[in-house]
Structure 1
Amino acid sequence: MTTSEPVASDAGDGGAADLQFRDPEVADELADDIAAQMERIDEPVEIMHVCGSHEQVIAKFGLRSMLPDALSVTMGPGCPVCVTNMPEVDEAVALAEAGKTVATYGDMFRVPGTVKSLADAKAEGASVEVVYSASEAVELAETNPDEDVVFFATGFETTAAPTAAVLQADPPENFSVLSAHKYVPPAMEVVAEMPETDVDAFLAAGHAATITGYGLFEEFVDEYDLPVVVGGFEPLDVLYGVRRILEFIEAGEGGLDNAYPRCVSREGNEAAMAAIDDVFTLTSGEWRGIAEIPDANFVLREAYADHSARAQFDIDAVDGAGDPLTEQCICGDIMAGTASPEGCELFGEECTPSNPVGACMVSDEGTCKIWHEYGGEPDL
């Protein structure tokens, strides 16, 4: 298991100040290396990345157009908003309709539940506020002491850490958390075991690994004998991560590499991980449209029950029939890497960013929204 050096331009003295993450000459060199590697491998390769930010970079900069036809880079379950299950949204809507003030991130505001979204609830008079951080939700509770403020907390390890931090900091009594935080590694295991997938390697999310450390993936590599490379979010980061993955595949071995060493260490942010472990425990949960995944949902420990919305309030399930189009949405298949947005008959027609049917068209990290904005597989 190795760590790689950052990609640098030949200009200047080669120090950190001279790193050029959008240098077209370096990009061409990496693309040439990748093409040569694929010729030597001489068989199709499928790499799955597990991050909406990676998909944004790949689509926005047309990186797939630089890759050989036999090399596929697909997005897996890397959009936390997209994998938030409809019953979890239903809980938040029910709390808002019961008179609680629900605070959540902007991406969650329009994500459809079974019957309606938080945006729908707000339009009908419920108190729903968009916040940019867990601490801002706490401030909302502090400035409105007569209201019950529920933070609908979503995201992977990167946002679970600040949620844990505010709960450790003794928030006001009228503040509670409805946790929909998710833990990525078990989802990678499920995808790797799906018979309809044929994933040869994973490009892991660099920002999550800044919290967890890249050592988190050692057990996965040992179990599945697949390459896992942690990558950053500039175009050269992605191309370099792909090149490093192909080195493992060409050698016929699994392996773990940190291709984002300017931000990621083996141990990660140990204080953040300690906070997550103190506040949360893991339980099985349904990831929207994918599967029931063991130990993949963060829920509050009993010690924090006083700030758990599920423990503090009776949450009535939402009644009613959902949008008939929802049954045609293939967001789960897209998140599992077994389908693309262009394979959905709703994409760009009934389902658009202004009128989303599925969660993948709502979030800025959703594959459908990204492909609608940039295209996904350019034919240049």
Structure 2
Amino acid sequence: MSLTAKQWLQQIHALPLTSKVKVMNVCGGHERAITMAGLRTTLPKNIELIPGPGCPVCICPEEDIYTAIQLALNEKIILAAFGDMLRVPVNVPKKQVRSLEQAKAAGANIQPIASPLDILQLAWQHPDETIVFFVTGFETTTAPVAALLAQGIPDNVLILLSGRLTYPAVELLLSTGEANFDALIAPGHVATVMGADEWQFCVDQYHLPTAVAGFEAESLLAATYSVLRQYLEQKPFLDNCYPQVVTAQGNPTAQQHLTQTMHITAANWRGIGEIAHSGFELNQKNIDAKHHYPDYHQQARRHTGEMPMGCDCAKVVLGKIYPNQCRLYDTACTPRNPIGPCMVSDEGACRIWWSHGMREQN
């Protein structure tokens, strides 16, 4: 019989913790669930839950967003993008278009979508127009897109791909010694696709207590209890606290679609830089928007400054500071006027904290 959230909290409070323990939760969905449930206020004060690099909107490269904006403004296309990408700003002078939302207001044909399947309907509704699908996200978003590509997409659809894998950012922190945490809660949705075993390296190579969690308070608290026990006993292992949907090997069909339609390459993460083996790239050049419109994908954008002046989103994403320790948090940067990407998406830690009443700078 599984324990309730209250029972898991009692188990956690009974642990003989004598020092501060920092637990990173990788997933933006986890951060939202933790904050909405008020878990930080119910845990012992010497347990810190640190938001990690699990917001795809936050780490989408500035040059990719700039490419999407310029394509939409200058080519006779319909640009489709997930809704939370529309407000992410790029670093250009104030008089220039800074986001897809502003490009839409300036006359560009930009269609916000909620699901990759929306692309099919859009293509059927506009058979004589070119649809460019700006694909952003981690494995849980990229896998459905790969499934679409595997079955074949309409001839009038091109893909502008900016997909990323989740684990390489964590591995970067661990391998460089910049990890500011003692244990890890791994993302349940990603593990559903890629398998829990993808996170075994945390234990084998870095002796880090690790548990995969779902998105209910019970699963998150079970994972928290597990990694705290591992930490106390100095016996790290990979614990699957989301067995309802996560298996050791993941979804083989989804992985097959990814392998069939894409390959893995080094990729840029906004504010962080290039991370090895962290990006998806299309196998077929004929559907690649970057191949069709090479003049718009400017690598020089990588050197214009990844985050706006004063924005500490990169430090928030890497778990080095909390959202309310950013210099712009709740002053210049709010959801109504986002300066950095972490204040845009509902998976961005700054937006989550602000939206749930954690307004003051720390």
Equivalents in 1 of 2:325, 2:148: separation in Å? 42
Equivalents in 2 of 1:170, 1:189: separation in Å? 34
Which residue does 2:5 correspond to in 1?
Answer: 27
1:192 deviation in Å? Answer: 2.0
Which residue does 1:42 correspond to in 2?
Answer: 18
| 1:51-200 map, 5 Å | 51-99=27-75, 100-115=77-92, 116-200=98-182
CA contact (8 A) 2:270 2:307 kept: no
| 1:210-221 map, 5 Å | 210-221=192-203
1:291 deviation in Å? Answer: 3.0
Comparing 247-256 with 72-81, which one deviates more in the overlay?
247-256
1:269 deviation in Å? Answer: 0.9
Equivalents in 2 of 1:246, 1:317: separation in Å? 45
Identity %: 37
1:138 deviation in Å? Answer: 2.7
CA contact (8 A) 1:179 1:298 kept: yes
Equivalents in 1 of 2:275, 2:22: separation in Å? 23
Equivalents in 2 of 1:170, 1:375: separation in Å? 45
Q: Deviations over 1:98-128 (max 9, x none)?
A: 2221101111111112331111111111111
Which residue does 1:227 correspond to in 2?
Answer: 209
Amino acid at match of 1:162: P
1:135 deviation in Å? Answer: 1.9
Amino acid at match of 1:7: S
Question: Quick one: structure 1 residues 203 and 375, their matched pair in 2 at CA, closer, same or farther if it must change by over 3 Å?
Answer: farther
CA contact (8 A) 1:64 1:377 kept: no
Amino acid at match of 1:191: L
Question: Quick one: structure 1 residues 282 and 376, their matched pair in 2 at CA, closer, same or farther if it must change by over 3 Å?
Answer: farther
Equivalents in 2 of 1:249, 1:325: separation in Å? 35
SS of the residue corresponding to residue 54 of structure 2 reads coil
1:323 deviation in Å? Answer: 10
SS of the residue corresponding to residue 299 of structure 1 reads strand
1:300 deviation in Å? Answer: 0.6
CA contact (8 A) 2:308 2:340 kept: yes
How high is the TM-score relative to the length of structure 2? Answer: 0.92
Equivalents in 1 of 2:83, 2:119: separation in Å? 13
| 1:188-337 map, 5 Å | 188-301=170-283, 304-316=284-296, 326-337=308-319
Unaligned ranges ≥5, structure 1: 1-5, 9-25
Equivalents in 2 of 1:27, 1:235: separation in Å? 6
CA contact (8 A) 2:62 2:306 kept: no
How high is the TM-score relative to the length of structure 1? Answer: 0.88
1:149 deviation in Å? Answer: 0.6
Give the alignment's Cα RMSD to 1 decimal: 2.2
Equivalents in 1 of 2:305, 2:36: separation in Å? 31
CA contact (8 A) 2:213 2:241 kept: yes
Unaligned ranges ≥5, structure 2: 93-97
Q: Deviations over 1:166-205 (max 9, x none)?
A: 1112212210111111101111101223444332111011
